[in-house]
Amino acid sequence: MFDFRSILKILQFLKLLIFSLFEHLILFIFPPCKKTFVGEIVLITGSANGIGRQIAINFAPLGATLVLWDIDDEGNKETSRLAQKKGAKRVFAYHCDCSNREEVYEQADKVRKEVGDVTILINNAGILLGKRFCDIPDADFEKTLRVNFLSQVWTCKAFLPAMMTCNRGHLVSTASAAGLLGVYRAPDYAGSKCAIIGMMEALDSELYHAGKQGIKTTIICPYFVNTELAKGFQTQNHLFLPVYDAEYVASKIMDAIQKEKFYLIMPLTLRFLAFKIFIPRKVVLLFESWFKIADSMDKAFGQKKKD
């Protein structure tokens, strides 16, 4: 006998699946109006330079209140000055070591009291050592995880409850293409970025099933960006793996936030990484050799590998 209940459930699922795919297609052809940021409280970690600074500058003329977190006080002051020059009316700069859990929670309390509840959280702070696995001291490996990954755990824990109360907000996490495919000379970095992607996907799932669809999630996965983090890195293939300027990446991040995209993968050629589990590992390594990724990392972060 046929189990008509099971068949009915399958048909209902297929109906919802087709509707979701059709909705995605319509939104791709006719994108919704970009949301505005007037009145939003935007907190950016790692705001003293690079992508964080450029994001702050992009938000400056849009009517949002900016909260800047960094351990580089002078750089943060300069970001604040540039943002105000671009039209930001309210800018608050805080010294915060995001690798220190107690300091993150302490500064979060200050922000709530002095500024208000954060509505857009942009986790951007990060470090990159560029060392081989056995050359990374345990303390440095742990530091990479604290700065790149655990800091995002703590900031989300600090600011998400208020977003959930009003079912409104946006979590933006800077991960990396290295979180999609482990990169030579970056085992600690790739591990931390992979953890970010997994956590944010899981968190988005929790919010969805809790009925908190008003809170959006955006995961940023760029290739190398020309900032202090990867200073000296030179791509060996500009066509397929370009190294972008921070200004350009920040503009794409702003667009992704406004359009409420879940993933932002840069460049588009890296989307093939979604199929890596279907590709033989030797083929993946062949691609890495062809793109000379190992050579690029050696030139940027250390001596060329010995024969």
Domain membership flag for residue 244: yes
pLDDT for residue 71 is more than 60: yes
Q: Considering only CA atoms, which of 210, 95, 191, 90 is closest in space to residue 142?
A: 191
Whether the Cβ atoms of residue 44 and residue 66 lie closer than 8 Å to each other: yes
Beta strands in the chain, from DSSP E residues, in sequence order? 41-45, 65-70, 91-95, 120-123, 169-174, 215-222, 225-226, 244-245, 263-266
Domain membership flag for residue 1: no
Structure tokens at 202: 């899981």
3 state DSSP class of 90: coil
Q: How far apart (Å, rounded) are the C-alpha atoms in residues 57 and 80? A: 9
Whether the Cβ atoms of residue 237 and residue 273 lie closer than 8 Å to each other: no
């993968």: which residue's tokens? 265
Q: How far apart (Å, rounded) are the C-alpha atoms in residues 135 and 132? A: 5
Q: How far apart (Å, rounded) are the C-alpha atoms in residues 5 and 178? A: 44
Whether the Cβ atoms of residue 210 and residue 228 lie closer than 8 Å to each other: no
pLDDT for residue 27 is more than 70: no
End-to-end, the C-alpha distance of the chain in Å comes to: 67
Structure tokens at 231: 């200073």
> Exposure pattern of 206-245 as b/e (b: 16+ CB <10 Å)?
ebeeeebeebbbbbbbbbbbbbebbeebebeeeeebebbe
Domain membership flag for residue 5: no
Which one has a higher pLDDT value, 270 or 143? 143
Compute φ and ψ for 33, nearest 5 degrees.
-60, 140
Domain membership flag for residue 236: yes
What value does the mean pLDDT take over residues 134-147? 97
Domain membership flag for residue 171: yes
pLDDT at 222: 94
**Taking all residues of the chain, what is their mean pLDDT, rounded to a whole number?**
89
Whether the Cβ atoms of residue 150 and residue 97 lie closer than 8 Å to each other: no
Share of the chain above pLDDT 70, in %: 91
Q: How far apart (Å, rounded) are the C-alpha atoms in residues 256 and 249? A: 10
Q: In this predicted structure, which of 33-42, 60-69, 72-81 has the lowest mean pLDDT? A: 33-42
For the stretch 151-174, pLDDT in tens is: 999 999 999 999 999 999 999 999
pLDDT for residue 282 is more than 60: yes
State the DSSP code for 215.
E
Q: Considering only CA atoms, which of 267, 275, 282 is closest in space to residue 224?
A: 267
* Surface-to-core class of residue 92, CB atoms within 10 Å of its CB (0-12 exposed, 13-18 middle, 19+ buried): middle
Whether the Cβ atoms of residue 205 and residue 171 lie closer than 8 Å to each other: no
Structure tokens at 138: 């345990």
The dihedral over CA atoms of 263, 151, 185, 195, expressed in degrees to the nearest 10, equals -50
pLDDT at 306: 41
Domains identified in the chain, total number: 1
Q: How far apart (Å, rounded) are the C-alpha atoms in residues 117 and 165? A: 11
pLDDT for residue 272 is more than 80: no
Which one has a higher pLDDT value, 267 or 119? 119
Domain membership flag for residue 232: yes
pLDDT at 232: 65
Q: Considering only CA atoms, which of 249, 240, 244 is closest in space to residue 293?
A: 240
């990159």: which residue's tokens? 128
Domain membership flag for residue 15: no
Q: In this predicted structure, which of 49-58, 78-87, 261-270 has the lowest mean pLDDT? A: 261-270
Residue ranges making up the domain that contains 186 = 33-301
For the stretch 222-235, pLDDT in tens is: 998 988 776 667 66
Residues labelled as active-site residues: 189
Domain membership flag for residue 3: no
For the stretch 181-220, pLDDT in tens is: 998 899 999 999 999 999 999 999 999 999 999 999 999 9
pLDDT for residue 307 is more than 60: no
Question: In this structure, what CATH number is given to the domain that contains residue 196?
Answer: 3.40.50.720
Residue 293, number of CB atoms within 10 A of its CB: 22
Share of the chain above pLDDT 90, in %: 67
